[in-house]
Amino acid sequence: MQHELYMKRCVQLAKLGAGSVAPNPMVGAVLVHQDRIIGEGYHQKYGEAHAEVNCINSVAAADVHLISKSTLYVSLEPCAHLGKTPPCTNLILTHKIPAVVIGCKDIFAAVNGLGIELLQQQGVETIVGILQEECLLLNKRFNTFHILKRPYIILKWAQTADAKIAHADFSAVAISNAFSNRLVHKWRSEEAAILVGTNTAWFDNPSLTTRLWLGKNPTRIIIDAHLKTPSHYNVLNGEAKTIVYNAIQQYEGGKVTYIKIDFNQDIIPQILTSLFLLGIQSVLVEGGATLHQSFINANLWDEARVVTNTKMYLQNGIQAPQIAFDSNDDAYNMEGDKISFHSNLNK
């Protein structure tokens, strides 16, 4: 039970890096001496110190002599290769830490068991697989990207109580409340990119930024086959990096990149392949209904997050995407808006 307790803390710590560490995975670490935590850390920002480094560096001066008598808990296998930072396995060996408890293996090709193997070869007691499912789920974006060779796809839409997302003429209607809107901006800050279709860009003129939440703006992705979006629209204002998938031109300049794809073929696989090659690990799809349905029909989605205004009805509006939800999926109420979460990971 003690192993699970400290691994849960590792997972808690790792989540603090959400939105800041990609394309690296989120990782948390805890150093324990005789059932007392003497150090904690997590990977805070891409390119900077890993969780193990921050954990060991957090040990108080009075406890430094205990490091070589402690057990290190880490949610993900320590790296054994030189990347942006030195290998964490070397750090563990340098400090003569005698035991390491690991949540799950790192599927990244440069690690993938090598860290565990190196520790074992050097006589470090190594336990692997504590809260493995929870630790794997922690880095579902990272794992999906490297295993399936595509970004992790999150579908998000707001709908009325009668499952409508806009007026029949595509004009926008304010469905979600101020609390839900802020939550959505938090979601945006946690993903690498945000994607909308032509009609959403044209009729809503969205900014697709995190202006209601403290965090980085995702890369904005627009599907606009014939480049209809006016140059003065918010999505082309240079406030955030933007990619426009179109049928006309291939051009990269400033903060707006135009990528030409074949609209006579299914565009979703083309876009996902392109985003994989660009290193974009996750995409929040925000509209519209046709685009959402394309992902659903192709079974190329991993999560759906639906905001439902339980008091609003729009009888002649545009129908929300059709998706098979499990009655056991998570949901909660936010000042009259129902926020529901649906997973496609095991379907």
Catalytic residues: 52
Q: Report phi then psi at 23, rounded to 5.
A: -85, 10
Nearest CA among 154, 114, 143, 182 for reference residue 22: 143
The CA distance from 173 to 157, in Å, is 12
Three-class secondary structure of residue 125 per DSSP: strand
The CA distance from 158 to 174, in Å, is 9
* DSSP conformational letter for 177: -
227, with CB counted inside 10 A (0-12, 13-18, 19+), is middle
Peptide bond between residue 288 and the one before it cis (omega within 30 degrees of 0): yes
Q: Are 275 and 193 in contact (CB under 8 A)?
A: yes
